[in-house]
Amino acid sequence: MILQDNQVLSKLLGIPGLKINFISQDTNGDTIIRATSTLHGTKCHVCGEHICKPCASGPQIKLRHTPIWGNKTYIRITPLRYVCEHCANKSTTTQVVDWYEQKCSCTKKYEKHILLLLINSTIQDVSIKEDISYDVVEGILERNISSQISYNLYTYTTHRNNKEEIL
């Protein structure tokens, strides 16, 4: 597919800073979007300084995204690697962007989609509906929903004679 307006497509995907290079459909009917990041630089994983000298490309990543036209959608991106001029060993760092977590198989927008599907459903139900593994759904749930209770967020009350008193 020839692309005319990358900004519109990027906005429709809900991912800022993304240049859409090519959109195709594989033999399974899944939508494959090949893209590159338009953001320049990243933070060095060793010293924390902002680095912007590209040196190579990292491995290609295939991320699940929200369905388009009722089809499973994947974004294929090859993140750039940058060399740090501040570190003595000239360490390299793969670009980190805010629309997906490193080492996760889906975008953050897809994670929100899954969380909405989990309302009044089980992990197994969502796993079947989205054709993803139980472990992937469980991982999304664990990353986004705290299993600990923050008691400091609550006000404790006692009830006496239908009147509420704050302790």
Give per-residue pLDDT as tens, 16-49: 889 999 999 999 999 999 999 999 999 999 999 9
User: For residues 146 and 141, what is the distance between their CA atoms, to the nearest angstrom?
Assistant: 9
Give bridge partners of residue 81 from the DSSP assignment.
Answer: 56, 94
- What is the average pLDDT across 81-91? 92
Quote the pTM value: 0.81
Q: Residue 30 has which token pair? A: 């899944």
Amino acid at 85: E
pLDDT band at residue 157 using 50, 70 and 90 as cut-offs: low
Is residue 167's pLDDT more than 60?
A: no
Give the closest residue to 20 by CA, choosing from 33, 32, 30.
Answer: 33
Name the more confident of 103 and 77.
77
DSSP annotation of 92 reads: E
Is residue 146's pLDDT more than 50?
A: yes
For residue 19, the tally of other CB atoms under 10 A from its CB is 15
